[in-house]
Amino acid sequence: MMQPEYDIVVFGATSFVGQILTRYLLEQYGTGGTLRWAIAGRNESKLEATRADLGNAAADLPVVVADAGNESSLRAMVQRTRVVVSTVGPYALYGEPLVRVCAQEGTDYCDLTGEVQWIRQMIARYEDDARASGAHIVHCCGFDSIPSDMGVHFLQQQAMAQFGSACPTVKMRVRAAKGEFSGGTVASLMNVAKEAASDPALRKELANPFSLCPYGFKSSRRQPNVKSAEFDPDFGAWTAPFVMAAINTRIVHRSNAIQDAVYGQEFAYDEAMLTGKGLKGRLQGMAMAAGIGGFLAASAIAPTRWALETFIVPKPGEGPSRQSQESGFYDLRFVGHASDGRVIRTKVTGDRDPGYGSTGKMLGEAAMCLAFDAGEDRPGGFWTPSSYLGQKLIDRLQDNAGLRFEVLENR
């Protein structure tokens, strides 16, 4: 079989996150070396402008023209590369043709979607194609859901080494974070709220924590779900809902399910944000819960959704300055309870803002891991970051992308 021309093609390189990703790959891996890569999108002049903005180091970076709505151009693009990494969202609006051709052509694929309903549709429609062609499709390779999915994977690896078995109960709490939601993430959230408002079946699916698991996989154990201000005795603090939990928990459960319930058939997992101790923490939790609920409610109604899109939320393609990205961070804490009562605590930290700087680096390393590290003996299909990339991705994230995975306590 003839070797593809490229190892990685960045599709959507002119988008805001696409530009961050492209700069990261250039600074980390250069051009003309071990990594053979190209940038791609529908507008050749914008691609050339993006390349020019990167300076002389990018002068020989190849440009590939392909349109998300033109399947023949997408097919020609994926046939030239081993991996496609896509930043073109909302994926529910623009992402399906590329997933389809990758699944059919045997080209590995990763993205940064957080759209549960779309991922479920892609699995249902194209997993048979991916299995037949050998394509490995890995969604959710940004802040949603690499820190959560890889964080649980890391904790469970430590638990199995220390306790001899996985923890049947794990929770993640956002201890601290600084950054902004990307315009693309906000657009995706609002699109989900819009679709759910008019589709009872979708609302039911979005309420199912096992919605991304293979058909028939479920647990009799009720899954915790922080919907309002709640006190968490594990942290001695109040919590509020975490808006990314809706996708992260589904990815973690899929990781467990497609690995033959490696965390246990009755595994429970939830996420929330820590808001502090005492009355102040409780009030902060109540305010955050009300704010999230109000945003989702407003996103579901046409007039208020228009007002949000017009006057308040960032537009897709907009984002903070590079200085703001570099001043951001996040600190996620995990606690696992073993069946015999023992406890393990771990943390995952990132050195950039979650939605932009860190997401760009995580996405880049996921693509590199797909291209160079992942086992080709693993069958094609729809995977998750931890189930397919595992420890090799953790190593890359720690070596190159500013993430740290640490054990705080096990007893």
Residue range 139-167: mean pLDDT, rounded = 97
Does residue 196 carry a pLDDT above 90?
no
The DSSP annotation for 195-232 comes to HHHT-HHHHHHHT-TTTTSPTT---SSPPP---S-EEE
pLDDT of residue 198: 81
The first and second tokens of residue 356, run together, are 């932009």
Q: Select from 312, 331, 305, 335 the least CA-distant residue to 409.
A: 335
Confidence band for 150, pLDDT divided at 50, 70 and 90: very high
Does residue 295 carry a pLDDT above 70?
yes
The DSSP annotation for 247-297 comes to HHHHHHHHHHHTTTSTT-TT-EEEEEEEEESHHHHHHHHHHHHHHHHHHHH
Residue range 242-251: mean pLDDT, rounded = 93
- Enumerate residues 6+ apart whose C-beta is below 8 A from 409: 343, 344, 345
pTM (2 decimals)? 0.94
pLDDT of residue 409: 78
Does residue 202 carry a pLDDT above 90?
no
pLDDT of residue 350: 97
Q: Any idea which of 137-146, 181-190, 343-352, 396-405 has the lowest mean pLDDT?
A: 181-190
Residue range 82-90: mean pLDDT, rounded = 94
Residue range 339-366: mean pLDDT, rounded = 95
Q: CA-CA distance, 184 to 297, in Å (whole number)?
A: 19
Confidence band for 288, pLDDT divided at 50, 70 and 90: very high
Does residue 182 carry a pLDDT above 80?
no
Confidence band for 159, pLDDT divided at 50, 70 and 90: very high
pLDDT tens-digit readout, 216-239: 898 889 999 999 999 999 999 999
Share in percent of the chain as helix, strand, coil (round to 5): 45, 20, 30
Does residue 364 carry a pLDDT above 60?
yes
Of residues 348 and 207, more confidently modeled: 348
Does residue 241 carry a pLDDT above 80?
yes
Q: Any idea which of 78-87, 195-204, 402-411 has the lowest mean pLDDT?
A: 195-204
In the beta sheet, which residues pair with residue 83? 8, 108
Does residue 312 carry a pLDDT above 70?
no
Q: What is the DSSP letter of 234?
A: T
pLDDT of residue 395: 98
Confidence band for 296, pLDDT divided at 50, 70 and 90: confident
Interhelix angle 278-300/183-197, rounded to 10 degrees, is 70
Interhelix angle 245-257/116-133, rounded to 10 degrees, is 30
Whether residue 298 contacts residue 254, with contact meaning beta carbons closer than 8 Å, is answered with no
Does residue 317 carry a pLDDT above 70?
no
State whether residue 70 is helix, strand or coil: coil
Q: Select from 169, 160, 154, 155 the least CA-distant residue to 341.
A: 169
pLDDT of residue 209: 94
Whether residue 135 contacts residue 105, with contact meaning beta carbons closer than 8 Å, is answered with yes
Give the start-end residues of each E strand in 23-179. 37-41, 63-65, 81-86, 108-111, 136-138, 169-178
- Above pLDDT 70, what percent of the chain? 95
Mean pLDDT for the chain overall: 92
Radius of gyration in angstroms for the set of CA atoms belonging to the chain, rounded to a whole number: 21
Of residues 254 and 301, more confidently modeled: 254
How far apart, in Å, are the Cα atoms of 218 and each of 13, 119, 250, 274, 349?
39, 18, 12, 28, 31
How far apart, in Å, are the Cα atoms of 142 and each of 183, 252, 362?
14, 14, 6
pLDDT of residue 253: 98
> Strands 268-276, 403-410: parallel, antiparallel or unpaired by DSSP?
unpaired
Q: Select from 27, 9, 28 the least CA-distant residue to 76.
A: 9
